[in-house]
Amino acid sequence: MSRVIRRGLEGLAIIDITKKAKEEGQYVFYDAQKTPDMNVAAIVSAARMTLKEIRYYYREMLIDPADPAGEKIPAKLIITEIPPSHVQPFHVHETIHETTLVVEGELVACESENLTERDWAEIVRTGKILSVGDVLVEEPGKRHTVMNRDPDRYCHITTYQVSRTLTPDQFKADWVRRDPVQSVKDPATASATTPPPAANPKDARAELTEAEVSDVSPNIVLFRKRRTA
């Protein structure tokens, strides 16, 4: 069964970037499961007004939503709003490849064994700049950070973390086209040989014959449809 997890309703964290790690009020986590009536919009709005970092966690995704104690999907998704010019703490992942998509703004990614978050000028100079649509892949064991390059606006990123429980050959593309089930209103008159309706001439997915040739250029495939008499 499909289900929708509304923004902030699985886990929401507000981070005060002016405070040190573990300092009181530096990291405040809101659990919607324990506070079902919390006002996510008000919390986020107040955080933006004071230029705090905002994180939406999706890491308790149950295989069976009806069983809170049941098995979880081995994946985590984190949406982060990084304040202007903020540098996240340098950190390392021991076993996962962390994948980050830039949704809005510009991000600077930097790997270093000796820089600190205060070395923002060096981070900008030596780091890699990512724009909207770019994806950053961090290898396990690499000490790294990301920084919002914009001094005035938030940068929005989406980070994916997936458990490495499958080998690459097992983790193949899992996408299979499935046609809709045909409902039969009148079995007495229905025929298995009834021809399908004609394809929409504007639909690029219409069937092509072997005689129709493809014009191929890098990243573009144009199909010349046969002309009707």
- Classify domain 12-162 at the CATH class level: mainly beta
Tens place of pLDDT for every residue, the chain, 229 residues? 666 777 766 789 999 999 988 899 999 999 877 877 788 899 999 999 999 999 998 877 777 767 777 777 778 899 999 999 999 999 988 888 889 999 999 999 999 999 999 999 999 999 999 999 999 998 888 899 999 999 999 999 999 987 666 666 666 655 655 566 676 655 555 545 545 445 454 444 344 343 433 333 333 333 334 344 4
| Domain spans, the chain | 12-162
> Against a cut of 0.85, is the pTM above it?
no
> Could you write out the DSSP letters of every residue in the chain?
------TTSS-EEEE-TTS-TTSTTSEEEE-TTT-TT--HHHHHHHHHHTT-EEEEEE---BSSTT-TTSPBPSEEEEEEEEPTT-BPPPB--SS--EEEEEEES-EEEEE-SS--TT-HHHHHHHSEEE-TT-EEEEPTT--EEEEE--SSS-EEEEEEEE---S-TTTS-------PPPPP-S-TTT--TTPPPPPPPTT-TTS---TTS-EEEETTEEEE-PPPP-
